[in-house]
Amino acid sequence: MSSSRFPGKVLAPFRGRPLVRHVLSVAEQVCLIDDVILVTSTDESDAPLSFYVQAAGCMAVPSLDDAIRLGARFCIIATDTGRHALDGIEAAEWGLHLLVEKPLATDATEARRLCARAAASRKIFVGCVMRFSKSLNTFREMLNSIGRVNPVRIECQSYLPDWRPARDYRESYSARPDEGGVLRDLIYEIDYAGWLFGWPCALQAKVKNLGRLGINADEAVG
The DSSP line for the chain is ---SSSTTGGGSEETTEEHHHHHHHHHHT-TT-S--EEE--S-GGGHHHHHHHHHTT-EEESSHHHHHHTT--EEEE-S-GGGHHHHHHHHHHTT-EEEEPSSSSSSHHHHHHHHHHHTTT--EEE--GGGG-HHHHHHHHHHHHH-------------GGGT-TTS-GGGSGGG-TTT-SHHHHTHHHHHHHHHHH---S-----EE--SSSS-SS--EE-
Residue 66 and residue 150 in one domain: no
- pLDDT at residue 195, rounded to an integer: 95
**Domain final position from 94, 109, 129:** 129
Q: Confirm whether 110 is domain-assigned.
A: yes
**Statement to judge: residues 115 and 189 lie in one domain:** no
Same domain assignment for residues 119 and 168:
no
Q: Give me the domain span that covers residue 215.
A: 131-221
Q: Is 91 within a domain?
A: yes
pLDDT on residue 1: 46
Domain boundary among 86, 104, 129: 129
pLDDT tens series, the chain, 222 aa:
455 555 566 777 767 777 777 777 777 777 667 788 888 877 777 788 888 888 888 888 888 889 988 888 888 898 888 899 999 999 998 889 999 989 999 999 999 999 988 876 688 999 888 999 999 999 999 998 988 888 899 998 889 999 878 789 998 888 999 989 998 988 899 999 999 999 989 888 899 999 999 999 999 987
Considering the domain architecture, whether residues 13 and 122 belong to the same structural domain is answered as yes
Say whether both 125 and 217 belong to one domain: no
Structurally, the chain folds into a number of domains equal to: 2
Q: Within this chain, do residues 44 and 93 fall inside the same structural domain, yes or no? A: yes
In a domain, 1, yes or no: no
158 with 85, same domain: the answer is no
35 and 68 share a domain?
Answer: yes
Single out the residue in 129, 155, 177 at which a domain terminates: 129
